Structure 1
């Protein structure tokens, strides 16, 4: 197993900058989500904002991905490709998954934005997914374990009748977008690697209304629920510090 890289204070300072940029751009993208807007227009806005911040995209060109934004709608779980023809309508769930590289370090975050008024069932899914990430962050204390993170997510969403996607996980992050360790959104409390100060993890619950099973479309990127039901996604980049978790991609 590859070793987990513990970040130095100087590296953490740069990761705070990267995380702040991600948060600020996601705030602008969230404001731009509205009926009639295309996912391509959101991607173009993200690209403009990245340039203004003096950063570069974490996603564009990564294994050939064509956008700076993973733009997934409704039953699309993750890795949706921005499309000029895909225009949002009221009631949609728009998942904005976004990252940058700044001075050699990555930041990565995602949020699910309801488009106009959504059904109570859709809102319940969004709320449960957001809450599950907050539950996960609470347990990210030094000395706790990777399994505690997944258990916090899984127990929260399954108690509300939803399911956790198992095909994708969170991950370490730093000089690379994806570093060890993997951080599943399910698991047994008290299991797995011990959390240590200096670890930086991207934790990203993906939660489905129905079955947890997903399939990847012919574009070889877009993952969708096999039953066509809704999915929600939230993500933060989180530092394990001596004092506990510090969310680097949240407005301070």
Structure 2
């Protein structure tokens, strides 16, 4: 069942998302060669808690950290660790904040140092596909319109869409109805009505779309070990407009590529 949000509830999600966006911005300052991914997690958790938020992911079904940090062929749900970032890596950082009773969720993939043009194109295509999906997330459209726009754009560029993992509704819970696949048919699926809040998050692979889960029960990587990119925004749909509640502004002020 979809939990439709009031304007006041959307504002509370936006308040949460502001903390989240600024936390991402603090982390972005430190995404560089020689940095341990566990250090990035520490920065995020301290910032979120210092601003009266709670890291959504930490403890969620046993997840051990505040950030999902996914390097290179890891698609999503990677653990922060002693891994030291090196030239040519890409790193997806996914974070959620719980504040005033509501969750927000946002992700961004960074190149580290000199990344191959092929991989840089993967990142740019995935990011652009996110906004093409958002363009279709309007009152009266359907969930399938979002996935169709993402899939059509990504596959035309020669990349593949992960199908086992999808976007989602969110609010008082991190994961709510509806599911939001990054593939689909125009005009299919749940109708988008006033008060729908969803996270759209394309996960796009350089090689095959197939993924595997590691023995830790969380980490998802590409089956062929080729790189994967991931970008995400939380959005709210109103009868007269669609609003992006999360922001990449603070990331992009501190990290250019």
Scaled by the length of structure 1, the TM-score of the pair is 0.97
- SS of 2:216's partner is coil
Structure 1: any 5+ residue segments left out of the alignment?
A: none
Distance in 2, matches of 1:52 and 1:89, equals: 30
Structure 2: any 5+ residue segments left out of the alignment?
A: 251-257
Distance in 2, matches of 1:139 and 1:30, equals: 29
Distance in 2, matches of 1:181 and 1:70, equals: 22
1:208 aligns with 205
Q: What's the offset of the Cα at 1:67?
A: 0.4
Quote the RMSD (CA, aligned, Å).
1.0
Q: What's the offset of the Cα at 1:242?
A: 2.2
Q: What's the offset of the Cα at 1:142?
A: 0.2
Distance in 2, matches of 1:53 and 1:242, equals: 32
Q: C-alpha offsets along residues 36-60 of structure 1, whole Å, 9 cap, x if unaligned?
A: 1011000011111011111001000
Distance in 2, matches of 1:19 and 1:190, equals: 30
Runs (4+) off by over 2 Å: none
Alignment of 1:46-85 (within 5 A): 46-84=44-82
1:16 aligns with 14
Q: What's the offset of the Cα at 1:218?
A: 1.2
Q: What's the offset of the Cα at 1:195?
A: 0.4
Structure 1 residue 110 corresponds to structure 2 residue 107: yes
2:94 aligns with 97
- SS of 1:12's partner is helix
The more displaced of 165-174 and 23-32 is: 23-32
Distance in 1, matches of 2:128 and 2:234, equals: 16
Q: What's the offset of the Cα at 1:224?
A: 0.5
Distance in 2, matches of 1:179 and 1:137, equals: 18
The question of whether the paired residues in 2 share the 8 Å contact of 1:140 and 1:244 is answered with no
Distance in 1, matches of 2:25 and 2:44, equals: 11
Q: C-alpha offsets along residues 165-214 of structure 1, whole Å, 9 cap, x if unaligned?
A: 00100000000000001000000011011101110000100000011000
Q: What's the offset of the Cα at 1:18?
A: 0.8
Among 28, 31, 37, the alignment partner of 2:29 is 31
Q: What's the offset of the Cα at 1:10?
A: 1.3
Q: What's the offset of the Cα at 1:27?
A: 1.4
Question: Across the two proteins, how many residue pairs are aligned to each other?
Answer: 249
Structure 1 residue 157 corresponds to structure 2 residue 154: yes
Q: What's the offset of the Cα at 1:235?
A: 0.4
